Amino acid sequence: MTEPFSFALKVRDGAARTGAIAMPRGVIRTPAFMPVGTGATVKAMFPEDVAATGADIILGNTYHLMLRPGAERIAKLGGLHKFMHWEKPILTDSGGYQVMSLAKLRRITEAGVTFQSHLDGASIELTPERAIEVQCLLGSDIQMVLDECTPFPATRDEAKASLDLSMRWAERSKTAFATMSAPGQALFGIVQGSVYPDLREESARTLIDIGFPGYAVGGLAVGEGQEAMFDMVEVTAAFLPEDRPRYLMGVGTPEDMLGAIARGIDMFDCVMPTRAGRHGQAFTWQGRVNLRNARHAEDPSPLDPESACPAAQYERAYLHHLVKSGESLGGMLLTYANVQFYQELMARAREAIAEGRFAQFADDVRRRYRDGSEAGNAQD
């Protein structure tokens, strides 16, 4: 009998790893980057173009989808894959993070979190059980336990109390998943613990006792800075089983991801490539490019000659014009090029790990990004 979810670790290069997750809907090559398809669409991209970038899996947001169009409606229409024309695996978050960042009048109790929809003010309760139910209605392949993304900064006591709640919710999530899920679906646990190494260890051990086919590192990229993030990734990864995929949630820049891969992370998601694309920013093999800059106005060179993406072959002068004119084609092309860059970055990282030269590869990309990126980019 085929395993419905299996992770094969192929090569290690230091702490960096490359491998593959096999699932009924397809194989996810790791390290993997998951483009974010918040509202059942990777913004400004046709689904076939998302696939063409090399993405093996995308992420959907439970919070957004349960509010609009509603999980029950998506289930009635045949599930999220059919709804959004995406046949490969989908990972959904639990909704907890967006409740805290987007919803109004949030209240957390032992039972779960109640909040008002940011769309129409409706009062909604999200419990660990409901989060699993919604993800099962969506039909997502990799589901996440409901947790509290511990705010930053948090005192040790606050982080410990938050962590304890998340661990109890993780257990309830697993119980709910056991009765609700379909064959071939998987549930990941999420390590919390803020910036306290002993809490990270405690969280990892607790989750391992509960037992999950994969583990996420949560509560990072929330303002702690890159150094603290890398420290926590390193600390956490040390306590996670070698034979399970590790997912760093909500990260990040190319430099963030390279640093995390070097510390043993296998999966990422982030709105950065899509959001940046809609704002005139590009990620290229030559560094960050701000297409709003006047220096591109008469530049006939392609956005990124090193990329295989069709969108990256468009001339910078044209992209500059589109971005300055507010034409949606600008966002369409830059989003496409950015998502493909992220996929190419993962592909080259996998190759470098397989060939035992990941550190050198990461140094090279970091140098390109340090020396080649345009100033003023982050502020745009």
Looking at the annotation, which residues are catalytic? 93, 269
State how far Cα 260 lies from the chain centre: 13
Question: Cα(330)–Cα(325) distance, rounded to whole angstroms?
Answer: 9
CB of 329 to its own copies, least distance (A): 4
Q: Answer yes or no whether residue 305 interacts with its own copies by CB under 8 A.
A: no
- Whose CA is closest to 88, among 132, 42, 28? 28
Rg of the chain on CA atoms, in Å:
20
67: its two tokens: 């509010």
Of 315-354, binders to its own copies (CB under 8 A) are 315, 317-318, 320-322, 324-325, 327-329, 331-333
Listed residue (176, 10, 33) closest to 91, CA to CA: 33
- Give which of 62, 61, 53 is closest to 88, Cα–Cα: 53
Element (H, E) at 189: strand 186-191
Residue 332 CB, shortest distance to its own copies, in Å, is 7
35-74 residues near its own copies, rule: CB under 8 A: 39-41, 43-46, 68-69, 73
Q: Which one of residues 24, 78, 121, 356 is an interface residue with its own copies (CB under 8 A)?
A: 78
Closer Cβ to its own copies, 26 or 39, answer by number: 39
206 backbone φψ class: left, alpha, beta (φ>0; ψ -120 to 50): alpha
Asked if 298 interacts with its own copies (CB under 8 A), we say yes
Contacts of residues 182-185 at CB distance under 8 Å and 24 or more positions apart, as own/partner, are 182/136, 182/139, 183/4, 183/24, 184/4, 184/5, 184/23, 184/24, 184/25, 184/141, 185/4, 185/5, 185/136, 185/140, 185/141, 185/142, 185/143
Number of residues that bind its own copies (CB under 8 A): 34
Is the omega angle on the peptide bond into residue 31 within 30 degrees of 0, that is, cis? yes
Q: Which residue has the tokens 């340090």?
A: 370
If the CB atoms of residues 77 and 378 are measured against its own copies, the closer one turns out to be: 77
Least distance from its own copies to the Cβ atom of residue 297, Å:
7
| 254-262 helix and 328-354 helix, angle to the nearest 10 degrees | 20
**Cβ neighbours around 1 below 10 Å, total:** 3
Name, in order, each residue with C-beta under 8 angstroms of 1's C-beta and a sequence gap of 6 or more.
none
Q: Is 225 or 310 the residue whose CB approaches its own copies more closely?
A: 310
Nearest-approach distance from CB 111 to its own copies, in angstroms: 30
Nearer to its own copies by C-beta: 177 or 318?
Answer: 318
**Interacting positions 79-138 with its own copies (CB under 8 A):** 83-85
For residue 155, state whether it binds its own copies (rule: CB under 8 A). Answer: no
- Minimum CB distance to its own copies, residue 87 (Å): 14
Nearer to its own copies, 108 or 124 (CB): 124
Q: Which of 111, 182, 297, 354 binds its own copies (CB under 8 A)?
A: 297
In angstroms, what is the minimal distance from the CB of 280 to its own copies? 15
Question: Whose Cβ is closer to its own copies: residue 93's or residue 148's?
Answer: 93
Footprint (CB under 8 A) of its own copies, residues 246-265: none
User: Which residues are at the interface with its own copies (CB under 8 A)?
Assistant: 39-41, 43-46, 68-69, 73, 76-78, 83-85, 297-298, 300, 314-315, 317-318, 320-322, 324-325, 327-329, 331-333
